[in-house]
Structure 1
Amino acid sequence: MSQTFIKKIEHLVLSNLENEKFGVSELAKEMNFSRSQILRKTKSFSGKSTSYFIREIRLREAARFILNSDLTVSEIAYKVGFGSPSYFNKCFLDYFNQTPGEFKKSHENNESFDFKLVNETSKKGIKTNMAWIAVVAVIIAIVLYYQKNFFSNKSHKEIQYASIGVLPLEDYSENRDFDYLASGITEAINLELSKNKSIRVISRGSCERFKDDKNTPYNQIAKELGVDLLLEGSVLPNNDSLLVVVQLIKPFPEERHIWSNKYHHSTKNVLQLVQNISSEIANEISTKITSNRSKTYNINPEAYSLYLKGRHLWYYQKTRYSSLMSAKDYLEKSIKIDPNFAPVYVALTETYISLNKLIGDNLERLINRENARKSIDRAFELDESLAEAYITKGNLVGKFDWNWGKMKEMAEIALKLEPNNTEAHQLLSNYYTITGDYDKAISEATVAHSLDPLNPSMGSLVAERYYIAKEFDKSIKKYNEVLELEPDYGFALNGIGYVYHKKENLDKMITSWRKLQTIMKNDSLGWYYDNKSLNESLNFYLDKATINTPGFCSNPSVIASIQMMVNNKSNALDFIKVAYQNRNEDLPIMLTYPDFIPLHSNPEFQEIAKNMGLVLPD
């Protein structure tokens, strides 16, 4: 009887493996038991709580995926019903006493690994529903207290024209399965607040650094972000409803909670909930709020969940082909359920754009680009007020069509809708770089960086623009600021190497690029940097890269720049032609690099630059 019962549970959980909402209540319904009956029987037959037993089955299947597939940890987390990759990692470590990466490494050659349910040696107690109710009650009590004692005494004038950082909302669900939902709500609040011209909103990338950070005090976070206000909050899903608690904190000169509120709504109205939250916050921060409003959506909850998962994968895994394909799958499933939600088409377009960079087959690339165009056109058919749609359209016409005027137009419209949009300023910086106005290119990159100060990609953007303008010392200084923040940030290590080469500081160039190879685990090229001359090392790289050796970048624009470093102009021009024919998206910006100045007098180079609409530097 016990084995039959346990096997039936396993079968039902495996049949609903990707459904993170399949829990105790759903299992009880499938087995025609009451919730209390299923709890008693599972405990009796397995010695474990029902929720833990379900999680154990999911983790066992995760182990199969880790050993038998090339999926990322995030992809596996979603496939086995965890909405939060970070919580999945924690549960996996608790259960197997190893991280997923350690597990794969230690068992990759062990064909006889036993996938039967593993007995856990030491488990943390599972919080009861009553404990969570108590937590929520305390939070609500705190909210009401702050509303009464702080906000009522604060004038609007005191916090007018503020700068604000929206910290990632915390997932307070029982199993931490809704991280993707908390992430989606955080981003939506950011977008809504960005519409207010009187508020400087720090971009999500910088605030993400403080996700799950319980130790850094608010005043230190605010100082690092360069803001005078912080918004923090939590999300607690419960069946088909959602409790969101938020509070506004002024860290200086001493920490004060100046406003807070709670919102309890059906998940069917999540987007309306988000708009209500962000609109109220914006009104409390400033007496004047822009009239630009996004369309209010009513989206199927399952479709919205799939959208958030797909967008989450695209945002965090955009350089990995399998993750992008999984993102595409989630987004297409969302569309199939609810085809009238404009943001999902924007996310799908961005996924196609990211995939395009990783695809080598020309026919597949053409199909991909056509799908991207259809997807963004559909987004505009459904809603013309989405700033993110204009950004994506600008991204598309820039990377695919090299239509710089259209790209600039899209960025400017986006900034009218969202004055604090970091990506719009980045697009404008690209436009001014392409058209030869380097002062404006640096200015727009600097604005983007000020809106996202802890994002290493934004700091590297400024450094690259200084490099293109031949302000090498400023470029090195900015790259070093990025590397102080993120010592292993590959783009900064790569970029500063180019600058050191122009400064003829070859020792520092080699040190930077050697460290980059360590991060990339390219031991063969690393050995050359350690034992051979720079010229020999670069030629070794070129030999490997030009035959598309795994681990070596085969981007023709990058190869052309290295050919220039070894003074092989003819080969460099050949790879520029390849990049041009394939519309390599890195080519336009890279051709503005000082490395290519020796080719400026070449008629073929001039023709390519003219056809691209590129204004060459002096």
Structure 2
Amino acid sequence: MSTEGVQQPGLEDEDLLEGWKAIADHLNKTERTVQRWEKAKALPVRRLKSGSSEDQGRVFAYKTELDAWWQEMLTRPDGLTPEPDRPPGHSPQTGPPPEPLPTRPWHSSSFWVVITLAVILGVVTLLRMPDPAQNLRPQPSRSRVTLAVRQFRNLNDTSGNDTSSQDFVAVGLTEEMVTHLGQLHPQQMSVIRLTPGYAAATLDRLAKDIRADYVLEGSIRQIANRMTISAQLVQVSSQTVVWGHSYERDVKELLRVQEEVAAAITGEVLNNLPHTAPAAREVNREAYLAYLEGRYFWNKRTTESLTRALDLFQHSVTIDPTYAPSYAGLADCYELLGSAPYTALPPNQAFPKAETAAKKALELDSTLAEAHVSLGYSKLVYEWNLSEAEKELARALQLRPDYATGHQFYAYYLTAIGNLGAAIAERKRALELDPVNPLLTSALGEAFYQNREFDRTIEQNSKSLQLDPSYAIALVNIGRAYEMKGMHPQARDAFEKVLAVAPDDPAVLALIGHEYALSGEKAKAAGTISKLQQLSTHKYVPAIYVALVYTGLHDLDHSFAWLDKAFDERSEYLVYLPTEPLADPLRGDPRFSQLLQRLALKKIVIAAAP
């Protein structure tokens, strides 16, 4: 439905779009699509009635009105039909690719919470101030302000060989900012953590890529026992600093600042804005720094870094046995070390320890979403208790609806029960909350793979590699998709890129062994089985990996024999067999249905590839 206008818009108005082509370009659609939306979806297009006969009937629109309309359509059940085009105002990424980032926001405490709350006080106060330019003409506003947070810079001397002890403080403080700001006012403010690759990104690029309204950035410097933290808030539209502050404290006195900042928050923010985050509690400084360093290494996602993170979380709980987030960190490490592709620990060793740690975290803090996710994941992949898994994962999202990792892990549950459409929707929601995260970008591609949308799998995981060219999981997903498309050279090339860096990785060896089998190179496939068995003499190699190669060889007797061993190991990947494309040769065998029954899973009717 168009809006009739009586005045001719001024050509100098930067918010103005004249003609169907300009409107279509802004929305990244065709002219035919936007013309249809005007009639069917009430796209806010205006028409001139005054002026010359040539001018009469010309169409125009305002960018702000179109953007507000777009946001409204995205939230309506009967809104826009999904299309591959980008949201309005978005353009392809340019410049250096961002680097991988953690997906799990951290819980709050200690000195960093003190500084976080002080910065949040300034940020929220500024974000609530009206933009004077908006008073010139009434404009519809977007549903939420988008705040981008750059990783805080470490200004200490990094010329030494080991800078991780300095870097993890900067990384940890950035995570605290994202977590607290995201919890403070989620209905009106969307908070996006930027990857380090965006460290030098211009404000114009941030406006185009993620439609950022504000950018929070800062730095940390420690000299002897003095710590200086500086933060500033930049408004993207005006490209000006609208708030800034520096905090300098003696390291030994940092915990005592908490009461001072908490009083300021209570007096100046909480009376005006809803704030559901729990009050910060004091924690032993050494325990908290060990927790931060543990998260730093956990986010690197290698077997070596996970093992180091495990030691750091254990050190943290030894110092302060009442600090719940460190127990959640322990649970996260054990679960990943017992899961593909890391599989450094047998599941029957890793997951009981993970559950114990997660339950301890919830005993200390029942509102800790991270611990509910950890417990729910263990219930799903180790205990095969679907109802309890759904309960814990849903509770995490109830506590933190905008928790990207919570949506990612809820998608694992949906995949296991065969609700692939809902799993894709959950992965998309996770990516909306953290749009420049290579892990979540790849996870959506994996959901497409489970749904047998192999072209979309390759496309989505290629985007992940643009964000982080070294992200091995994306290469694995691309290889699996090419193999299912029958494009064997491309599949082999993807797997070999990973093996060039990690030649003895059991998971990727199994995948390329399956590829050898499908390509008719049975001798190479048999050689891969021998290598996996040889590796198993000095490290844990999941039985499901050997079963995979036998499946490629269509040796189903050996395949089911090794799947029985995987069942005895309680392999975490078994829950995904109902929809795993590589398991298709097994589906017609009665032993497959029997295995699913033992896992308390239902046999899924597999649709043909779209």
Give TM-score scaled by structure 1 length. Answer: 0.65
- CA distance in 2 between counterparts of 1:224 and 1:559 reads 43
Return the match for 2:569 from 582, 586, 589: 582
Letter matched to residue 457 of structure 1: L
- CA distance in 1 between counterparts of 2:379 and 2:403 reads 18
- 2:295 corresponds in structure 1 to 311
- 2:559 corresponds in structure 1 to 572
- CA distance in 2 between counterparts of 1:329 and 1:442 reads 35
Specify the SS of the correspondent of 1:165: strand
- 2:217 corresponds in structure 1 to 232
Corresponding position: 1:292 with 2:286: no
- 1:486 corresponds in structure 2 to 468
Specify the SS of the correspondent of 2:439: helix
- 1:198 corresponds in structure 2 to 187
Specify the SS of the correspondent of 1:235: strand
Matches within 5 A, 1:213-292: 213=199, 215-225=200-210, 227-237=212-222, 242-252=227-237, 254-264=238-248, 267=251, 269=254, 289-292=273-276
Corresponding position: 1:440 with 2:440: no
Deviations 1:246-285 (A, max 9, x none): 2222324x523333333445656569869969x979x98x
Q: Cα gap change, 1:342/1:450 in structure 2, threshold over 3 Å: closer, same or farther?
A: same
- CA distance in 2 between counterparts of 1:487 and 1:481 reads 9
Specify the SS of the correspondent of 1:194: helix
8 Å CA contact 1:394, 1:406 repeated in 2:
yes
- 1:73 corresponds in structure 2 to none
- CA distance in 2 between counterparts of 1:616 and 1:592 reads 9
Deviations 1:361-412 (A, max 9, x none): 76xx645443333322221222122222222222332333222332322232
* Cα shift at 1:146: 12
Specify the SS of the correspondent of 2:215: strand
Q: Cα gap change, 1:458/1:148 in structure 2, threshold over 3 Å: closer, same or farther?
A: closer
- CA distance in 2 between counterparts of 1:163 and 1:513 reads 38
- CA distance in 2 between counterparts of 1:271 and 1:431 reads 43
* Cα shift at 1:421: 0.9
- 1:83 corresponds in structure 2 to none
Corresponding position: 1:461 with 2:443: yes
- 1:42 corresponds in structure 2 to none
Return the match for 2:167 from 164, 179, 190: 179
Letter matched to residue 592 of structure 1: T
Q: Cα gap change, 1:522/1:427 in structure 2, threshold over 3 Å: closer, same or farther?
A: closer
Q: Cα gap change, 1:602/1:190 in structure 2, threshold over 3 Å: closer, same or farther?
A: same
Q: Cα gap change, 1:461/1:239 in structure 2, threshold over 3 Å: closer, same or farther?
A: same
Specify the SS of the correspondent of 2:299: helix
- 1:25 corresponds in structure 2 to none
Q: Cα gap change, 1:409/1:200 in structure 2, threshold over 3 Å: closer, same or farther?
A: farther
Matches within 5 A, 1:13-24: none
Deviations 1:307-364 (A, max 9, x none): 22223222325422xx4443333333322322222111111222222333466776xx
- CA distance in 1 between counterparts of 2:491 and 2:552 reads 12
- CA distance in 1 between counterparts of 2:538 and 2:433 reads 34
Q: Cα gap change, 1:517/1:247 in structure 2, threshold over 3 Å: closer, same or farther?
A: same
Higher mean displacement: 429-438 or 483-492: 483-492
Letter matched to residue 561 of structure 1: L
8 Å CA contact 1:165, 1:229 repeated in 2:
yes
More helix by proportion, 1 or 2?
A: 1
Letter matched to residue 302 of structure 1: E
- CA distance in 1 between counterparts of 2:277 and 2:556 reads 53
Percent identity, please: 23
Specify the SS of the correspondent of 2:534: coil
Letter matched to residue 174 of structure 2: T
Letter matched to residue 583 of structure 2: F
8 Å CA contact 1:342, 1:379 repeated in 2:
yes
Higher mean displacement: 548-557 or 537-546: 548-557
Return the match for 1:351 from 321, 330, 333: 333
Return the match for 1:169 from 149, 152, 155: 152
RMSD across aligned C-alpha pairs, in angstroms? 4.1
- 1:592 corresponds in structure 2 to 579
Letter matched to residue 187 of structure 2: S
Higher mean displacement: 424-433 or 159-168: 159-168
Greater RCO (Cα-Cα under 8 Å, separation 6 or more): 2
Specify the SS of the correspondent of 1:230: strand
**Gapped runs of 5+ residues in structure 2?**
1-121, 135-139, 606-610
Matches within 5 A, 1:329-340: 329-340=311-322
8 Å CA contact 2:424, 2:447 repeated in 1:
yes
8 Å CA contact 2:551, 2:586 repeated in 1:
no
- CA distance in 1 between counterparts of 2:124 and 2:176 reads 24
Return the match for 2:547 from 560, 566, 572: 560
- CA distance in 1 between counterparts of 2:366 and 2:599 reads 29
Specify the SS of the correspondent of 1:316: coil
8 Å CA contact 2:181, 2:191 repeated in 1:
no
- CA distance in 1 between counterparts of 2:440 and 2:450 reads 15
Matches within 5 A, 1:596-607: 596-607=583-594
Letter matched to residue 186 of structure 1: T
Return the match for 2:365 from 383, 386, 390: 383
- CA distance in 1 between counterparts of 2:374 and 2:127 reads 41
Letter matched to residue 605 of structure 1: F
Letter matched to residue 424 of structure 1: G
- CA distance in 2 between counterparts of 1:467 and 1:148 reads 44
8 Å CA contact 2:457, 2:477 repeated in 1:
no
- CA distance in 2 between counterparts of 1:243 and 1:368 reads 40
Specify the SS of the correspondent of 1:178: helix
- CA distance in 2 between counterparts of 1:235 and 1:275 reads 21
- CA distance in 1 between counterparts of 2:565 and 2:123 reads 62
Q: Cα gap change, 1:219/1:505 in structure 2, threshold over 3 Å: closer, same or farther?
A: same
* Cα shift at 1:288: 7.2
Specify the SS of the correspondent of 1:546: helix
- CA distance in 2 between counterparts of 1:440 and 1:493 reads 24
8 Å CA contact 1:150, 1:258 repeated in 2:
no
- 1:62 corresponds in structure 2 to none
Letter matched to residue 285 of structure 2: P
Q: Cα gap change, 1:592/1:247 in structure 2, threshold over 3 Å: closer, same or farther?
A: same
Corresponding position: 1:548 with 2:535: yes
Deviations 1:126-175 (A, max 9, x none): xxxxxxxxxxxxxxxxxxx9999999774799787122222111223466
Q: Cα gap change, 1:501/1:202 in structure 2, threshold over 3 Å: closer, same or farther?
A: farther
- CA distance in 1 between counterparts of 2:215 and 2:409 reads 27
Corresponding position: 1:608 with 2:586: no
8 Å CA contact 1:180, 1:309 repeated in 2:
yes
- CA distance in 2 between counterparts of 1:394 and 1:276 reads 35
Q: Cα gap change, 1:552/1:372 in structure 2, threshold over 3 Å: closer, same or farther?
A: closer
8 Å CA contact 2:330, 2:357 repeated in 1:
yes
Matches within 5 A, 1:479-558: 479-521=461-503, 534-548=521-535, 554-558=541-545
Corresponding position: 1:473 with 2:446: no
- CA distance in 2 between counterparts of 1:301 and 1:360 reads 31
Higher mean displacement: 606-615 or 147-156: 147-156
8 Å CA contact 2:358, 2:372 repeated in 1:
no
* Cα shift at 1:425: 0.5
